[in-house]
Structure formats: structure tokens, C-alpha cells
């Protein structure tokens, strides 16, 4: 029987400096991971990455921060190569990279479409590809998508539409990597109380989202909170190993699939 405990494991988290990725990183360190490599992209995330490295080390794990724009296959290959060099082959690889655009389809430019595809689909594909090459046997791989995959709503064509392929990448990867005991999942949070959410939304839309989940009245903001998503990720990358190939929405009853 394989050991599915987080204790002693090596973790890689793309977008692991802050918000959801940052909390996953510190949580897995607190659960006993041996080493956590976190990735960040923007210069403005560097201080968050340093703070998260300090929090991981405080929890007793080795930590390294790796920078990169992951919209090229070469950059994702480098991220995995640098992770292996710094902390060893990952047992757990989680991709939280994403970009939102809320706009009518008639106003979306070709450049915007290309960027959304690059960040949400291409990065996720090549992250899964490299995970399939570098993650240890009996490892766990997870991609963060969006609860909008369960919605029938306007204006998110370029966001939900470029996260949607990840559901199929996940299915294929789960079948292909399953022979090595690797679980592959996708998790779609509901509208989350992080700085990622608010700039894309108007005041009316924020007010709506704060009431849109079945359990909204019991959330401090009405929204999904990263603290509600992290325990589920922790489960998926440990004792929840039997769940594979699936996309699961964590949203207090905002959308369903």
C-alpha cells in the first residue's frame, strides 16, 4: 500500500506565493512536507514569495521561491528542472496560475484571447505534461480552475472558456499517469475573497456574488474563502488519492456540475 501522507513529501506550487497558492504552501509545510518550492510570476509578488518562504521554513520545511512567466513550455520545463535541482523530484505538484477577464465576447480582442489561453490553458497543459515526467510514483497533481465551469452565465467566455480545457487535460493525465499511481484532479473554487476577484467585478456583481451560494449567509463575506478550499486540496493530495480524473467545485453551493 502506497504512503499517501504529506509527511516527508516534496511539493511544487505554481502561483504559491500568495492568496490560495500561498495558503496551500504553508498548510502543506505545516502538515509535514519536507520541502516546498513555490513559484511566483510578477515582481510585485516577490515580497509575498519571501514571506511564504519564511512561513514554510518556520513550519520546519525547506523552501525555495522560483520566478517565471509560465506561458511558454520552456518556462514550465525550467520550473520543474529548477525544482528538482533545489529540493528534489516533487511528490505533489499544484498549479494555481490563472487570469480573469470579464467582458462581452464582442469586445474581446485577439490579444486578450491569446493571453487568456496562454495563462489558463497552455500553462496548465504544460504543467501537467512536466508533472507527468517529473512527479514521483504515487504522486498527486492538482490544477485550480473555476466554479464558473458549472455556470450558464455571460461575460466569462474568455475565463471559464480557457479554464474548461483543463477538465479534459485532467481526465487524460489521470488515465495516463494512473499506471504510476499518480492522482490528477482539478478544483474549481467559487468567487473567492482574494484581490484576484474584485477588480474584474462591478459593485453590483460583487453584491450578487456575496449572496449567490446556498451557504452564503454562513460565510463572513458571503463568498468562498481560501481557508474553506485548502482543507479539500490537502485531502486530495494525501488520503483523497482515490479521487482522480475529476473536476470538483468547492463553492458553498454557488454552481454545480
Ligand X SMILES: NC(=O)c1ccc[n+]([C@@H]2O[C@H](COP(=O)([O-])OP(=O)(O)OC[C@H]3O[C@@H](n4cnc5c(N)ncnc54)[C@H](OP(=O)(O)O)[C@@H]3O)[C@@H](O)[C@H]2O)c1
Quote the radius of gyration of the chain (alpha carbons, Å). 17
CA dist 111 to 53, 56, 67, 158, Å?
34, 37, 24, 11
Across the chain, the runs of DSSP E, i.e. the strands, are: 10-14, 35-40, 62-67, 92-95, 140-144, 183-189, 247-250
Q: Which is nearer to ligand X, 136 or 205 (CB)?
A: 205
Return the number of other C-beta atoms located less than 10 Å from residue 195's C-beta.
9
Residues ≥6 apart with Cβ < 8 Å to 112: 101, 103, 158
Residue of minimal Cβ distance to ligand X: 98
**Helix (H/G/I), strand (E/B), else coil: 187:** strand
Give the CA-trace dihedral at 171, 77, 195, 53, to 10 degrees: 120
Q: Which is nearer to ligand X, 135 or 187 (CB)?
A: 187
CB atoms within 10 A of CB 92: 26
Closest distance to ligand X from the beta carbon of 24 (Å): 9
CB of 139 to ligand X, least distance (A): 21
Residue 78 Cβ, how far from ligand X at the closest point, in Å? 12
Q: To the nearest whole angstrom, how small is the minimum distance from the Cβ of residue 228 to ligand X?
A: 12
Toward ligand X, which CB reaches closer, 44 or 109? 44
For ligand X, the closer CB: 22 or 90: 22
Tell me how far, at minimum, the Cβ of 131 lies from ligand X, in Å. Answer: 15
Residue numbers at the binding site for ligand X (CB under 6 A): 15, 18-21, 40-42, 45, 69-71, 96-99, 119, 144, 146-147, 189, 191-192, 194, 196-197
Return the number of the residue (197 or 241) whose C-beta is nearest ligand X. Answer: 197
Amino acid at each position: 500500500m502506497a504512503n499517501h501522507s504529506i509527511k516527508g513529501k516534496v511539493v511544487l506550487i505554481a502561483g504559491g506565493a500568495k492568496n490560495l497558492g500561498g495558503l496551500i504552501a504553508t498548510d502543506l509545510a505545516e502538515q509535514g512536507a519536507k520541502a516546498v518550492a513555490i513559484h511566483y510570476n510578477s515582481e510585485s509578488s516577490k515580497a509575498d514569495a519571501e514571506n511564504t518562504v519564511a512561513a514554510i521554513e518556520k513550519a520546519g520545511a525547506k523552501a525555495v521561491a522560483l520566478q517565471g512567466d509560465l506561458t511558454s513550455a520552456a518556462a514550465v520545463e525550467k520550473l520543474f528542472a529548477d525544482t528538482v535541482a533545489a529540493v528534489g523530484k516533487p511528490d505533489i505538484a499544484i498549479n494555481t496560475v490563472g487570469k480573469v477577464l470579464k467582458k462581452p465576447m464582442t469586445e474581446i480582442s485577439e490579444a486578450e484571447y491569446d493571453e487568456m489561453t496562454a495563462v489558463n490553458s497552455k500553462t496548465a497543459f504544460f504543467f501537467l505534461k512536466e508533472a507527468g515526467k517529473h512527479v514521483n510514483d504515487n504522486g498527486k497533481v492538482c490544477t485550480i480552475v473555476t466554479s464558473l465551469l458549472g455556470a450558464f452565465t455571460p461575460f466569462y467566455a474568455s475565463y471559464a472558456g480557457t479554464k474548461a480545457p483543463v477538465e479534459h487535460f485532467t481526465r487524460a493525465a489521470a488515465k495516463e499517469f494512473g499506471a504510476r499511481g499518480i492522482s490528477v484532479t482539478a478544483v474549481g473554487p467559487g468567487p473567492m475573497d482574494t484581490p484576484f476577484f474584485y477588480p474584474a467585478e462591478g459593485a453590483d456583481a460583487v453584491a450578487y456574488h456575496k449572496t449567490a451560494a446556498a451557504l452564503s449567509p454562513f460565510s463572513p463575506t458571503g463568498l468562498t474563502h481560501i481557508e474553506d478550499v485548502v482543507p479539500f486540496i490537502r485531502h486530495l493530495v494525501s488520503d483523497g488519492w482515490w479521487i482522480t480524473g475529476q473536476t470538483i467545485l468547492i463553492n458553498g453551493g454557488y454552481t454545480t456540475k
